[in-house]
Structure formats: C-alpha cells, structure tokens
C-alpha cells in the first residue's frame, strides 16, 4: 500500500473553465503550440479526439530530458469538465506500475477564470521511486503556459468618433432601428435581419455587409441595452467572424458632448482569436469608424433638409373687392405699370425690364414703400433676396357667387435665408392694402 499514492494541486487561471477542459479533452494536439518548451507534440495514435478510448502519444521534456508517454483517454466528463488519462506505455512505466492523471476545470465563483485541479493516482514499482512531485509541478507550469497562451489570444480594441448627431439618436439607431443602417451606409451594410423584438436584450440580428470588397455575414445576439448610458452590447454567435475568433463582443456607446452639440461614439471590441496567426481586428474597427461617419453624414443631410423645410413657408390672405375679377386680373397680368397710379403711396412704379407685358417670362422692376422704407423688387433680385432664398407671390381673382365683385386671394411661398428672418406677414398686409387701393381706384373711375 505504501507504493500507491495520490498527489493533487490547483492553479488559478484567467481562461474560462470550458476552454481549459476543451484543450485537454478535444484539442490536446494543440498543446505543443501553447507550451513548446515543455510539450513537443501530442499525436493521435488511435481513436477520435474528444472521445474516451482515444490513444495519444505525448512527447515532452521533463527535468531537461526528452520523454514519451502513451496514454489512453479513460474518461471525459463534459458536465464537470474533467478528463482522465491513463499511461499505458513510455518512460513513466519504468518507475510506475500504474499512473493516472485527471485534470478538472471549475469556473470561479465570480465568473472570471477558473481553477484547474490536477490529480495523480499512481503505484510505484518499488520504494526507491520518489513520489512524482516534480511531474505535478511540470503539469502546473504547463497549465499556466496554456493560460498565458489563451490570454495572449484575447484582446480589446477601442476607437472614438466625434459626430454631430446627438447621442440619443445614434443609440436608438443601433438599439431599435438597426435595419435602417443600410440606408445610411449602403456601401458597407446591405441589410440587418431581425429575429426577435428590436430594442430588447436577446434580440438576434443577422448583418449582411461588405468588408475589404468581400460580402460577409454575422449573426449577433443583443447581450445588453443601457438606455441610460446609451450603450448596446452585441455578441457574435454565427458567421464569418466565428471562423477566426472564439468569441467576439462589440459594445457601442454614445456620449453627449459637453457643449451639447453632437456626441462621442465609443466602439469597443472584446475578442479571443482562435490562434496566433489571426490578426487583431484593426481593419474591422476602422470599418466601424467609417460606418459611424456615414451614419452621421446621413443624419447631417436629414437635419439640413429638415432645417430647410423649417425655413420654407406659405402665407395666404383674401380680400373682398367690388371690382370684377377679370379687370383685377388684367391689372396684374397685363397692366402692372398702371398700379402706381392706383396706389401711389405704396407703389411708386412698376417698370418693364424684359419681355412683353401680359406674357409669362416677363421681368418687372417694382419700386415700392414697405414699412416706410423705399424698396425695389425684381422678384429675382432686389431687397427681398437679402432675406429670402426664394420668394413667389401668386394673386388670383375669383368672381363672387352673386356676380358682384370678386375675391382676391394672395399666396406667398418663400424660403428664408436663416431662422432669424421673420415670416413676411407685413408683405402680405402690403399686398392686401394694395388690392384695396386698386379696388377703390376702379370704383372711383366707375362713378
């Protein structure tokens, strides 16, 4: 009984328990890449990786001496994350009648990393054989190397973009309206297909996009939405990125700028590469930055159009007159040069500048007094264009139903140069009073 023994040791690792278990149960042939000074190779001799009964041949260096061990995978427990190896041939059997090693990975209580537990069961050939403390120490250091390797495959990349779009609008786009992004950055994003309700955690999105000229797709699950801090976290669960990364998590946060104008968009990638030859996703981060700028440009255009629409306006007014509609229409269409005789206090002259009276395309120069100030309007030039980008006045005379007189309808369409310009109510009032003066003139002539 004194020849039999048990040795145990634990080591804390930052790598998650499932990954550590997966290395020993399914990917032992990768271990030589993770700890090359200790393990020169783990070759499949018989069976299938990831299944009990598989026979492996380990080539390793222990205490400076190259050694070999042929082991059978005796048990794999994917629930408790443990793998048991039994040595059936090699250097260890020159000192041990039986040798069995079990490695078990247990998630840490705080969810960060794991505890790797090694357990040796053995029977020495005779009492002169020392207990395998040095081999246990060897496995602990090997485990640390494996952990370091996986930590070196993990990474974080960050980037910030200043945009003019407000933070809430940008956040709502990714959290509630990602399907609209293809309209804003069509050369990059071809579409975002929804599988669950937008704006909720656990919603799934499939992105179709073009990067480096190649059409790609990725399916992501929404891990978290923070409507207070305006952030959203997405985890890739399927697609092109999963061919190179064990996990890939994107967090997008929009923060209002201190001056209240625009925001800062912060992109964060947390990932683990499948192997060292996979590059860090710098190009994808640059892609995200450019997409953000596309989205901002789109909102800038929309803002500009909305602002322009807010500068546009319409004003209307009606005046009842006793003059018949045809006569009134004739004044403005064919005899505008007579208007100064009918309302001299308001209109000093209407001169023909180009074309023929009574025809479309004719250019007139109006000299008038508005709010006590003499002004000039060529409609396409003059005082009005100092305040308005566009200005159009339409006057329509409609016979009254009883046949006595008419209704004069004025309609002014305009676009102000900026928000500080008031709507042209005084000009509409001027047109109304001018119409009354013209009516009075014709009534006096009739009498």
DSSP per position, 76-130: EETTTTEEEEEEEEEGGGGTEEEEEEEEEEEE-TTSSSEEEEEEEEEEESSTTSP
Q: What is the pLDDT of residues 256-287, one digit of tens each?
A: 998 888 899 999 999 999 888 889 999 999 99
Q: State how far the alpha carbon of 274 is from the alpha carbons of 153, 154, 247, 332, 357, in Å.
A: 7, 9, 9, 81, 82
Note the pLDDT of residue 366. 87
All CATH 3.30.530.20 domain ranges in the chain, comma separated:
4-153, 164-307, 322-446
Superfamily of domain 4-153: START domain (3.30.530.20)
- What is the rounded end-to-end Cα distance, in angstroms, of the chain? 141
Q: Give the C-alpha separation, 244 to 158, whole Å.
A: 19
CATH 3.30.530.20 fits 164-307, yes or no: yes
Whole-number pLDDT of residue 447? 73
pLDDT at 309: 58
Where the chain has pLDDT below 70, the residues are: 1, 196-201, 301-310, 379-381
The pLDDT value recorded for residue 294 is: 92
Query: Residue 388 has what pLDDT?
Result: 83
- For strand 114-124 and strand 154-163, is the pairing parallel, antiparallel, or unpaired? unpaired
Task: Write down the architecture of domain 322-446 according to CATH.
Answer: 2-Layer Sandwich (3.30)
Neighbours of 151 (CB within 10 A): 14
Q: Read off φ and ψ for residue 409, nearest 5 degrees.
A: -115, 120
Q: Can you give the pLDDT at residue 414?
A: 83
Pairing of strands 55-62, 347-354: unpaired
Instruction: Give the pLDDT score at 43.
Output: 96
- Per the rule left: phi > 0, alpha: psi between -120 and 50, beta: everything else, 260 is left
Selection from 336, 389, 374 nearest residue 358 by Cα: 336
Q: In sequence order, what E strands does 108-242 have?
A: 114-124, 154-163, 189-194, 204-211, 214-226, 231-239
Q: Are 136 and 119 in contact (CB under 8 A)?
A: no
Q: Note the pLDDT of residue 379.
A: 56
**pTM of the model as a whole:** 0.56
pLDDT computed for residue 1 by the predictor: 54
43: phi then psi, degrees, rounded to nearest 5: -105, 140
pLDDT of residue 20: 95
């Amino acid at each position: 009984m004194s020849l039999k023994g048990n040795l145990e040791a634990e080591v804390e690792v930052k790598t998650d328990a499932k990954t550590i278990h997966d290395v020993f149960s399914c990917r032992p042939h990768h271990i030589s890449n993770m700890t090359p000074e200790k393990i020169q190779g783990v070759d499949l001799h018989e069976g299938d990786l990831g299944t009990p009964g598989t026979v492996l041949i380990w080539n390793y260096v222990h205490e400076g001496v190259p050694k070999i061990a042929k082991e059978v995978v005796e048990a794999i427990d994917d629930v408790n994350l443990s793998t048991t190896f039994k040595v059936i041939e090699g250097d260890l059997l020159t000192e041990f009648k039986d040798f069995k090693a079990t490695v078990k990975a247990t998630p840490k209580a705080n969810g960060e990393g794991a505890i790797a537990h090694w357990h040796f069961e053995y029977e020495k050939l005779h009492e002169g054989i020392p207990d395998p403390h040095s081999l246990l120490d060897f496995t602990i250091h090997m485990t640390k190397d494996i952990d370091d390797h996986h930590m070196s495959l993990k990474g974080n990349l960050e980037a910030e973009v200043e945009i003019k779009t407000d933070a809430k609008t940008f956040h709502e786009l990714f959290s509630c309206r990602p399907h609209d992004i293809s309209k804003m950055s069509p050369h990059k994003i071809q579409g975002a297909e929804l599988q669950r309700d937008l704006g909720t955690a656990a919603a799934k999105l499939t992105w179709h996009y073009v990067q480096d000229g190649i059409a790609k797709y990725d399916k992501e699950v929404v891990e978290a939405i923070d409507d207070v801090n305006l952030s959203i976290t997405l985890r890739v669960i399927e697609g092109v990125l999963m061919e190179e990364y064990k996990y890939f998590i994107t967090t997008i946060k929009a923060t209002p700028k201190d001056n209240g104008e625009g925001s800062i968009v912060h992109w964060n990638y947390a990932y683990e590469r499948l192997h060292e030859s996979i590059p860090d996703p710098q190009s994808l981060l640059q892609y995200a930055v450019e997409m953000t700028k596309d989205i901002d440009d789109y909102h800038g255009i929309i803002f500009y159009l909305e602002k322009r629409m807010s500068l546009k306006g319409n004003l209307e007014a009606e005046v009842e007159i006793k003059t018949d509609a045809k006569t009134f229409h004739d004044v403005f269409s064919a005899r505008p040069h007579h208007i100064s005789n009918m309302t001299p206090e308001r209109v000093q002259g209407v001169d023909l500048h180009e074309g023929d009276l009574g025809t479309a395309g004719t250019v007139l120069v109006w000299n008038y007094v508005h709010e006590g100030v003499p002004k000039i309007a060529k409609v396409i030039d003059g005082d009005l264009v100092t305040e308005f980008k566009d200005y159009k006045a339409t006057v329509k005379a409609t016979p009254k139903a009883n046949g006595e007189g008419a209704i004069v309808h004025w309609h002014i369409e305009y676009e102000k140069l900026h928000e500080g310009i008031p709507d042209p109510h005084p000009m509409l009032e001027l047109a109304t009073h001018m119409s009354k003066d013209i009516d009075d003139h014709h009534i006096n002539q009739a009498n």
